[in-house]
């Protein structure tokens, strides 16, 4: 499955840090394999909050990408697990935990007391927060005159032009459609999928689907798709590069990525040691936030985020939030909705 910032060209294993010492996975020293979605996001994340810990503790860090759920499951079921800590969507974390594919985190070893309770689960801890926003091309629409609600986003008469959505069921298009159709934010779940498809039907001819963060940026920056449901960090990065884009924060939907440890990993204790360090590493989280505009998961880290970046984090716009995406719902309904979405897109 494609996800935020995925770069399919980044594959294989790369040794990033080679330090001595310890017992081990490899036999020569402590080793941790980190798996994320790839691309620049992964490079920045590893440099910000994995490498410093590894160097201080004599750990060799390896990377693989992108996260692949089928591969994750296959490793666990074959009892040949090479992945250590894996960045996943929360709906998969729920499924992996229920099926015994992921390690149940030991509260004595992984302190999640400073993390928002809604972002954690028995087998997973949050890695970052991001928002699905209404993003717009600033040449096509001004700061004063652009859609500020999902109802306006769906109003192609008042705001003409193509609309962009991520082509996956968990991409918040159904939540946006229901908000646009008048469903109160606190009554979104369980989602009325029939009603959501009816609302999507009203703009189907104007929808352009994207698969990657790069495509998302290109579509809105070029003006080909002047209005797009976006990941806030991608729009921030494009704006930093001088592209004519901006985020509208009203009615944004909060999402987050989590990290899990595959069951059967040969050094679960080391993986939990890193995870515990990450949750306590306010400066490391802030360093990544400063580069990506994805929010840290512990409030303490916000004091280290640059003011101009902090304004672009979802944590600064909680009063404009519609809802947090309910990944427990998506863990139960992802397959059936995905099948229906694929059929709808093909019609």
pLDDT digits (tens, 9 = 90+) for 154-204: 999 999 999 999 999 999 999 999 999 999 999 999 999 999 999 999 999
The number of residues making up the chain comes to 347
329 and 195 in a common domain: yes
260 and 151 in a common domain: no
Q: What is the dihedral of CA 7, 8, 9, 14, to 10 degrees?
A: 80
Report the domain count for the chain.
Answer: 2
Decide if 276 is inside a domain: yes
pLDDT value of position 9: 32
Please state whether the predicted TM-score (pTM) of the whole model is above 0.85: yes
32 and 147 in a common domain: no
288 and 214 in a common domain: no
| Cβ(293)–Cβ(311) below 8 Å | no
136 and 218 in a common domain: yes
- Better-scored residue on pLDDT, 50 or 8: 50
Whether 23 shows a pLDDT value over 90: the answer reads no
| Cβ(53)–Cβ(59) below 8 Å | yes
CATH code of the domain containing 206: 3.40.190.10
pLDDT value of position 116: 86
pLDDT value of position 40: 86
| Cβ(96)–Cβ(10) below 8 Å | no
Domain extent, residue 337, equals 130-255+324-346
Report helix, strand and coil shares of the chain as percent, to nearest 5.
45, 20, 35
Place of tokens 């002047």: 226
Which tokens is 18 given? 């080679």
Residues contacting 131, CB < 8 A, separation 6+: 231, 232, 247, 249, 252, 253, 254, 255, 314, 317, 321
143 and 124 in a common domain: no
Q: Among residues 41, 48, 247, which one has the least CA distance to residue 137?
A: 247
pLDDT value of position 144: 97
262 and 220 in a common domain: no
207 and 66 in a common domain: no
pLDDT value of position 29: 79
Residue 276: how many CA atoms within 13 Å on its side-chain side? 13
Whether 74 shows a pLDDT value over 80: the answer reads yes
Q: How many CB atoms lie within 10 A of CB 155?
A: 15
248 and 165 in a common domain: yes
Share of the chain above pLDDT 90, in %: 89
3-state secondary structure (DSSP) of residue 231 = strand
pLDDT in tens, 126-166: 999 999 999 999 999 999 999 999 999 999 999 999 999 99
Split at pLDDT 50, 70, 90, the class of 28 is low
Average pLDDT rounded to a whole number, residues 287-313: 96
Decide if 8 is inside a domain: no
Split at pLDDT 50, 70, 90, the class of 95 is very high
Q: Where are the beta strands (DSSP E) in the chain?
A: 14-17, 30-35, 59-64, 85-88, 125-137, 163-166, 207-210, 227-231, 245-260, 321-324
pLDDT in tens, 221-252: 999 999 999 999 999 999 999 999 999 999 99
Which tokens is 227 given? 């209005």
């Amino acid at each position: 499955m494609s996800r935020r910032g995925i770069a399919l060209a980044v594959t294989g294993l790369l040794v990033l840090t080679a330090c001595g010492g310890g017992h081990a996975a490899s036999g020569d020293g402590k080793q941790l394999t980190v798996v994320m979605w790839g691309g620049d996001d992964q490079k920045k994340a590893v440099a910000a909050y994995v490498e410093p810990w590894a160097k201080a503790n004599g750990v060799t860090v390896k990377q693989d990408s992108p996260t692949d759920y089928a591969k994750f499951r296959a490793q666990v079921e074959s009892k040949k697990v090479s992945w250590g800590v894996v960045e996943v969507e929360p709906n998969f974390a729920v499924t992996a935990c229920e099926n015994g594919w992921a390690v149940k985190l030991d509260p004595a070893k992984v302190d999640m007391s400073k993390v928002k309770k809604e972002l954690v689960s028995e087998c997973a801890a949050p890695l970052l927060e991001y928002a699905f926003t209404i993003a717009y091309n600033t040449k096509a629409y001004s700061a004063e005159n652009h859609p500020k609600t999902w109802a306006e986003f769906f109003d192609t008469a008042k705001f003409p032009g193509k609309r962009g959505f991520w082509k996956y069921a968990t991409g918040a298009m159904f939540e946006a459609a229901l908000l646009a159709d008048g469903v109160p934010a606190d009554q979104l779940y369980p989602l009325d999928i029939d009603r959501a498809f009816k609302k999507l039907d009203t703009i189907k001819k104007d929808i352009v689907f994207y698969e990657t963060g790069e495509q998302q940026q290109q579509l809105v920056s070029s003006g080909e798709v002047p209005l797009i449901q976006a990941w806030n960090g991608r729009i921030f990065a494009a704006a930093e590069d001088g592209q004519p884009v901006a985020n509208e924060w009203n009615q944004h939907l909060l999402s987050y990525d989590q990290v899990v440890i595959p069951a059967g990993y040969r050094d679960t204790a080391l993986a939990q040691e890193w995870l515990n360090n990450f949750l306590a590493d306010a400066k490391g989280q802030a360093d990544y936030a400063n580069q990506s505009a994805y929010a840290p998961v512990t409030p303490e880290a916000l004091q280290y985020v640059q003011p101009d970046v902090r304004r672009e984090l979802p944590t600064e716009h909680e009063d404009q939030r519609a809802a947090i995406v309910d990944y427990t719902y998506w863990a139960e309904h992802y397959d059936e909705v995905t099948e229906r979405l694929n059929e709808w897109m093909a019609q």
